[in-house]
Amino acid sequence: MSAQLVAAPAELDFLHRDSVHIAAPMTALQAYCAMISDVPGWLAQAFRLRDFISRRFNVAAIHGFSSRSPERVPAVGEYLDFFLVEAISDQQLVLTSRDTHLAVMVSMDLGEQSDGRQRLSVTTSVRCFNRFGRLYMLPVGKAHGPIVRRMLRNI
C-alpha cells in the first residue's frame, strides 16, 4: 500500500518519510497509539509554545498528543488528537490537519517485506497556502524528522 499525500508531489512544500521494522503484528491504529504512548516532556512543551504563538495569528490550538487505547477504533470523519481521520484500515491510517495557512497529511502504512517482517512507514506531507504557513514550517520542518524518529522508538 502506498502512502497518501496531501497534494501532488510537485505541489508539496514539505515531505518526510521514515520507517521502522515492527517486532509483533499490529494494526496502523495500534502503531499510532504506541507512538504517542510516551510523549517526551520537551515535545509537550513545544506543543504548548506552538499554541501560545499560533494563538496570536488566530490559529487553533492543537494541545499535542493524548495517550489513548486502540480498542476504540475511530471512524472516518472523527478526530484522533488534533488530526481528522481520513482513512483507516488495519494496514493504513491517514490523518489530516488543515487550516487557512497549511494542510498536513500523515499516512501511516504497514506492509510486509520480502523477509516476512512487518514494516511501518510514516509519511508526512504539507502544502503551505501563505507566508505564515511557510514561516511556521521553517522550525517545524527541521524538528519533524527527529520527533518522528523519537516517537517510532515507542513501538
SS3 track for the chain: CCCCCCCCHHHCCEEEEEEEEECCCCCHHHHHHHHCCCCCHHHHHHHHHHHHHHHCCCCCCCCCCCCCCCCCCCCCCCEECCEEEEEECCCEEEEEEECCCEEEEEEEEEEECCCCCEEEEEEEEEEECCHHHHHHHHHHHHHHHHHHHHHHCCC
pLDDT at residue 50 in the model: 84
What Å distances lie between residue 66 and 35, 88, 116, 137, 151, CA to CA?
Answer: 11, 19, 32, 23, 13
How far, in Å, CA of 35 to CA of 82, rounded?
A: 15
pLDDT at residue 130 in the model: 94
Tell whether 114 is covered by a domain.
Answer: yes
Q: Cβ distance 97 to 82 under 8 Å?
A: yes
pLDDT at residue 26 in the model: 94
Tell whether 147 is covered by a domain.
Answer: yes
pLDDT at residue 113 in the model: 81
Domain count, the chain: 1
Tell whether 146 is covered by a domain.
Answer: yes
For residue 68, give its domain range.
Answer: 9-152
Tell whether 4 is covered by a domain.
Answer: no
Q: What is the CATH number of the domain that holds 26?
A: 3.30.530
**pLDDT digit string (tens) for the chain, length 155 residues:** 589 999 999 999 999 999 999 988 999 999 999 998 988 888 888 888 888 887 887 777 777 778 777 788 899 999 998 899 999 999 999 999 998 899 999 999 999 887 878 999 999 999 999 998 999 899 999 999 999 999 999 99
pLDDT at residue 28 in the model: 96
Tell whether 2 is covered by a domain.
Answer: no
